[in-house]
């Protein structure tokens, strides 16, 4: 499955969160952005739930996520 995860970070944590996400298996691309979210990650994995819930959301500095699963 493929998905995009929009990530809000705690103040001053965007760079650290981005570095950790970029190193994860299943993350095809991750970039820092300006706006309502701080990091966007493109994922491709059989078990997206584990990647998001058990790995990304547990990173110190991740305040909130919004996962968009590719549909078309």
Domain architecture of the chain: domains with CATH = 2-69 (3.30.70.920)
Percent of the chain clearing pLDDT 90 (strictly above): 100
Condensed to tens digits (0 to 9), the pLDDT of residues 46-69 reads 999 999 999 999 999 999 999 999
Among candidate residues 46, 34, 38, 2, the one with its CA nearest the CA of residue 21: 38
pLDDT at position 48, please? 93
Distances (CA, A) of 1 to 7, 19, 26, 67: 19, 23, 10, 12
């Amino acid at each position: 499955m493929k998905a995009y995860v929009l990530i809000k970070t705690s103040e001053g944590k965007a760079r650290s969160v981005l570095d950790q996400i970029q190193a994860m298996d299943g993350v095809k691309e991750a970039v820092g952005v300006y706006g309502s979210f701080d990091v966007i990650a493109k994922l491709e994995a059989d078990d997206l739930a584990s990647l998001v819930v058990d790995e990304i959301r547990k990173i110190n500095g991740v305040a909130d996520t919004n996962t968009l699963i590719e549909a078309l």
